[in-house]
Amino acid sequence: MNLAQKDLKYIWHPCSQMKDYEDLPPIIIERAKGLYLYGADGKKYADVVSSWWCNLLGHCNKRINDAVKRQLDKLEHVIFANFSHKAAIELCEKLVEKLPCGLSKVFFTDNGSSAIEAAMKMSFQYHYQTGNPQKKKFMALTNAYHGETVGALSVGGVDLYSKIFKPLLIDVIRIDGPDCYRCRYGKCRENCNAECFESAEKYLDEYGNETSAFILEPVIQAAAGMKIYSPVYLKKLRRCCDKHNVHLIADEIAVGYGRTGRMFACNHADITPDIMCLGKGLTGGYLPMALTVTNDKIYKAFYADYNKGKAFVHSHTYSGNPLACAAAVEVLNILKEEDILKKANDKAEYFNSLVREALESHKNIGDIRSSGLINAFEIVMNKKSKKPFDCKKRTGYRIYKEALKMGLLLRPIGDVMYFNPPLTIKKSEMESVVEICRKAVNNILK
Ligand SMILES: *Cc1c(COP(=O)(O)O)cnc(C)c1O
């Protein structure tokens, strides 16, 4: 039995129809460096999806490797209730300096979905113990993605993930989210006034008094297919949430850490959310860790004598894991000392022009959108009507398989293909991945 066969004997892979693996068996990766994964089959793959958006500074980054090794020989893990350690403290000190002004308290979780759960519970309990127990509802956008656990899935709005589980989920007030490619107002993102905010405003005016928090992914709804929208939407939302004493929870798990060209997507709108969730790139894609950060006002609502019963009694076994914290500290050091964001932004325009040049004229490429180094394109049957292909044709998946043959990992979201590479991708690598992508698209959509 070879390794791939053994894999299939034992392993149930995430987000997969395992029958697909009959045709495309698991690709065994032996090692990785920078943009590239090296397979046991001797092939190399350009990882332009940052292995599910978490690899921020290239695989096996020497500085992060060394930082984790140093930490490993000192302290691998310690209970985080009443105990602490230097790596966690250093991380928070450095992070708070970079966060939007006012976010000052850091709560540790161990994956993105858990960070969302913690944020929702924190908001709910805050209102409960500040005299507003009627604030029980959450508002979230259509096409939102916030993770897979039951609370996070409830605020998510992608049927593919949640439809079957509807009877299990908490009831959420669903707001029609922005859709700039198929704008209901006939506007364009670059100069609109986020007219589509009106539906959020209507619901906040009507149900604000019973709403605990409004949660959204700022600037890009990533799992929806890299749907990018105007920061004006966030400005309006901030004002409206304040008016109704509704918390604004910014899920920056996918878009934080420079993915959109700014350290945090909220920076584009110059707003501070009440709660921000971070994950993915936080540890450079090394170890599972996530954070729920908030402000003093929320923190203080839980601060009281023990017998008042106001504490936030929420925990994860691996909260504040020192290895993950050491990786996360080094990520912040690298971002600063190597001026990563500025360099990424200098390259971003070039990347986008390459993508446009290669794909814009293709008859089935309906929209190309970008923010920071994220570049996405949407495949449609008809460019004029923007009508998609029948999803049963699995066009995106077929392009993915074609690109894999040529050494490019271009995992699609339905018929949206995207690049979300490490911020350290080189110009020559951009040229080669875009060229392979162009070929793969042309081979499937002749
Ligand atoms: C990935 C993701 C999550 C969930 O994070 P996990 O670590 O996979 O649980 C939540 N929100 C957004 C926006 C994400 O992209």
Q: Say if ligand 1 is within 6 A of residue 252 CB.
A: no
Tell me the two tokens of residue 117. Answer: 């759960």
Q: Decide the pairing of beta strands 416-419 and 36-39.
A: unpaired
In the sheet that holds 416-419, the strands lie side by side as 365-371, 374-379, 416-419
- Cα–Cα dist 99/379, whole Å: 36
Q: Say if ligand 1 is within 6 A of residue 175 CB.
A: no
How many CB atoms are located within 10 Å of the residue 109 CB?
26
- Cα–Cα dist 48/4, whole Å: 23
Q: What is the mean pLDDT of residues 244-256?
A: 98
- Cα–Cα dist 61/414, whole Å: 31
Per-residue DSSP letter, 85? -
**Shortest CA distance to 218 belongs to which of 162, 181, 177?**
177
Amino acid at 261: G
Q: What is the mean pLDDT of residues 385-403?
A: 97
Domain with CATH 3.90.1150.10 in the chain: 3-60+340-444
Angle (deg, nearest 10), helices 427-444 and 395-405 = 130
pLDDT tens for each residue of 56-114 = 999 999 999 999 999 999 999 999 999 999 999 999 999 999 999 999 999 999 999 99
Q: Report helix, strand or coil for 212.
A: strand
From ligand 1's centre to the CA of 146, what distance in Å?
Answer: 6
- Cα–Cα dist 231/268, whole Å: 6
In ligand 1, the atom with minimum distance to the C-alpha of 254 is 15
Domain with CATH 3.40.640.10 in the chain: 66-337
Outline where DSSP puts E strands in 309-409: 365-371, 374-379, 408-409
In this prediction, residue 128 carries a pLDDT of: 98
**Shortest CA distance to 419 belongs to which of 405, 393, 400, 443?**
400
Which of 143, 161, 253 has most ligand 1 atoms within 8 Å of CB, for mutation?
A: 253
Q: Say if ligand 1 is within 6 A of residue 220 CB.
A: no
Torsion of CA 340, 342, 343, 348, to 10 degrees: 120
Q: Bridge partners of 171?
A: none
In this prediction, residue 34 carries a pLDDT of: 98
| Per-residue confidence band for 52, with pLDDT thresholds at 50, 70 and 90 | very high
Work out the percent of the chain whose per-residue pLDDT is above 70.
100
Output the average pLDDT for the chain: 97
**Rg of the Cα trace of the chain?**
22
Amino acid at 326: A
In ligand 1, the atom with minimum distance to the C-alpha of 114 is 9
In this prediction, residue 385 carries a pLDDT of: 96
Q: Say if ligand 1 is within 6 A of residue 359 CB.
A: no
- Cα–Cα dist 274/276, whole Å: 7
Evaluate whether 260 touches 375 at the Cβ level (below 8 Å). no
Tell me the two tokens of residue 428. Answer: 């020559």
- For the domain covering 66-337, report its CATH number: 3.40.640.10
Evaluate whether 165 touches 153 at the Cβ level (below 8 Å). yes
Residue nearest to atom 8 of ligand 1 (CA): 112
Amino acid at 421: P
Evaluate whether 229 touches 218 at the Cβ level (below 8 Å). no
- Cα–Cα dist 257/285, whole Å: 11
Q: Say if ligand 1 is within 6 A of residue 226 CB.
A: no
| Per-residue confidence band for 50, with pLDDT thresholds at 50, 70 and 90 | very high
Q: Say if ligand 1 is within 6 A of residue 219 CB.
A: no
Distances (CA, A) of 343 to 167, 258, 262: 47, 11, 12
- Cα–Cα dist 181/186, whole Å: 9
Q: What one-character-per-residue DSSP string does 167-198 give? A: GGSPP-EEE----STT-TTS--TTT---TTHH
Q: Decide the pairing of beta strands 173-175 and 137-141.
A: parallel
In this prediction, residue 198 carries a pLDDT of: 97
pLDDT tens for each residue of 209-237 = 999 999 999 999 999 999 999 999 999 99
What are the backbone dihedrals phi and psi of residue 123, each rounded to the nearest 5 degrees, phi first?
Answer: -65, -45
Tell me the two tokens of residue 347. Answer: 């390259």
Amino acid at 275: I
- Cα–Cα dist 440/404, whole Å: 9
Architecture per CATH, domain 3-60+340-444, reads as Alpha-Beta Complex (3.90)
pLDDT tens for each residue of 284-298 = 999 999 999 999 999
- Count how many residues are written for the chain: 446
Evaluate whether 430 touches 350 at the Cβ level (below 8 Å). yes
From ligand 1's centre to the CA of 253, what distance in Å?
Answer: 6
pLDDT tens for each residue of 167-181 = 999 999 999 999 999
Q: Say if ligand 1 is within 6 A of residue 320 CB.
A: no
How many CB atoms are located within 10 Å of the residue 203 CB?
19
Q: Say if ligand 1 is within 6 A of residue 279 CB.
A: yes
In the sheet that holds 173-175, the strands lie side by side as 103-109, 290-295, 275-278, 247-251, 211-216, 137-141, 173-175
- Cα–Cα dist 426/58, whole Å: 11
- Cα–Cα dist 57/427, whole Å: 15
| Per-residue confidence band for 335, with pLDDT thresholds at 50, 70 and 90 | very high
Work out the percent of the chain whose per-residue pLDDT is above 90.
99
- Count the helix, strand and coil residues of the chain and give each as a percent rounded to the nearest 5: 40, 15, 40
Report the predicted TM-score, pTM, of the whole model to 2 decimal places. Answer: 0.98
In this prediction, residue 292 carries a pLDDT of: 98
Amino acid at 213: A
Tokens 């939302």, located at residue:
237
